[in-house]
Amino acid sequence: MQHKIVAIVPAAGLGRRFGQDRNKPFETLGGKPVIIWALETLERMAEVGEIIPVLKESDMPAGLELFSRFRISKIRRVAPGGRERQDSVFNALGLIRETAPVVLVHDGVRPLLEAGDVREALKALDGCDGVVIAVQPKDTIKELVGDIVRQTLKREALVAVQTPQIFQYRPLFAAYERAMKESFYATDDAALVEWDGGRIRVVTGSYTNIKVTTPEDLIVAEAFLNMRKER
C-alpha cells in the first residue's frame, strides 16, 4: 500500500537539559545543523510529499535561511511552536487540509533517521491507527515508589519508543483535538491515540536512532555518523 506522507518535524523545544542559550536543532553535527540530517533524509524519500517543521517564533528567520541553504524543497510552510511539544504538533496538524493523509512525526533532534525504518513503519500501518518505532531496553528496568523498588519489570515485555511515528491523519487529529479540549498531555503522539482508543503497532527500530538531549549525545551521534560512513 502506497501513501504520500506529510512529515511534521517538531524543533521548538526549550532544551533545558542541553544548556542555557543553546538550541539543539541548530547545533552542529558532522558539519551540518542537527535538524538538517533528518530533513535531508525525508527530502530524498519519494514517499514524502511535504515536510512541515515546527519552530519557535524567534528561530523562524534562522530556520528559513537554513532550509533554503540546504535546498529542502518539500518545506512549503512552517508551523509556530507552542508551550509544549504537544501544542507544537497540534499547530502543525492544523495546517494539513488533505482529506485523509498519512502523517509522520519525527523529532528534529533525532538526526540519524533511516529511510528503511520509515518504510517498515509505513508497511505496518494497514489495519491500525498508528505505528511507532521502538527498541527493547538493554538495561534491567525497575519500577520505584519513591526511592524503593516496587518491582523489576520484564525487559521482553518493554520497548523504548522513538520517532518516527506514523499515523492515519483522522485518528491522530481526533485524539489531539480531544486532548487539547480536555487539557490532557502525553509525552508522545502515540500515547494520545492510545488514550483516545486507537490501535498502535510497534516495529523494531535502531539503537543508533538517538535523541540529542544533552551535549554528550552529540559525541555519540558523531560516532554513529562515522560508523555509517565506514559502511
Q: Which of 15, 23, 14, 63 is nearest to 39 (CA)?
A: 63
Separation of alpha carbons 85 and 55, rounded Å: 11
CATH classification at residue 182: 3.90.550.10
Residue 195: pLDDT over 60: yes
The three-class DSSP label of residue 144 is strand
Beta bridge partners of 130: 167, 200
Quote the radius of gyration of the chain (alpha carbons, Å): 17
Q: What residue numbers bound the domain in which 54 lies?
A: 5-230
C-beta separation of 145 from 151 below 8 A:
no
What's the pLDDT score for residue 23?
Answer: 80
C-beta separation of 205 from 116 below 8 A:
no
Question: In this predicted structure, which of 13-17, 23-27, 185-189, 214-218 has the lowest mean pLDDT?
Answer: 13-17
Residue 100: pLDDT over 80: no
Average pLDDT over residues 129-157: 96
Residue 210: pLDDT over 90: yes
The C-alpha cell at 128 is: 491500525
The C-alpha cell at 89 is: 504538533
Instruction: Report the percentage of the chain scoring pLDDT > 90.
Output: 87
User: How many domains would you assign to the chain?
Assistant: 1
Average pLDDT over residues 53-67: 95
**Confidence label for 97 from pLDDT (cuts 50, 70 and 90):** confident
What's the pLDDT score for residue 21?
Answer: 60
The C-alpha cell at 163 is: 520517532
What's the pLDDT score for residue 48?
Answer: 96
Separation of alpha carbons 18 and 99, rounded Å: 39
Average pLDDT over residues 57-69: 95
More confident residue, 23 or 106: 106
Instruction: Report the percentage of the chain scoring pLDDT > 70.
Output: 94
What's the pLDDT score for residue 36?
Answer: 98
What's the pLDDT score for residue 1?
Answer: 42
The C-alpha cell at 28 is: 552542529
C-beta separation of 156 from 136 below 8 A:
yes
Residue 189: pLDDT over 50: yes
C-beta separation of 34 from 26 below 8 A:
yes
Q: pLDDT tens across 16-46, in order?
A: 555 556 688 999 999 999 999 999 999 999 9
DSSP calls for 39-70: HHHHHH-TTEEEEEEEE-GGGHHHHHHHHHHT
Residue 38 sits at the vertex; the CA angle it makes with 36 and 43, to the nearest 5 degrees, is 85
Residues with Cβ within 8 Å of 209's Cβ and at least 6 positions away in sequence, in order, are 110, 112, 113, 114, 117, 133, 135, 162
- Regarding pTM above 0.85, the answer is yes
Separation of alpha carbons 118 and 104, rounded Å: 9
Q: Which of 9, 1, 11 is nearest to 43 (CA)?
A: 9
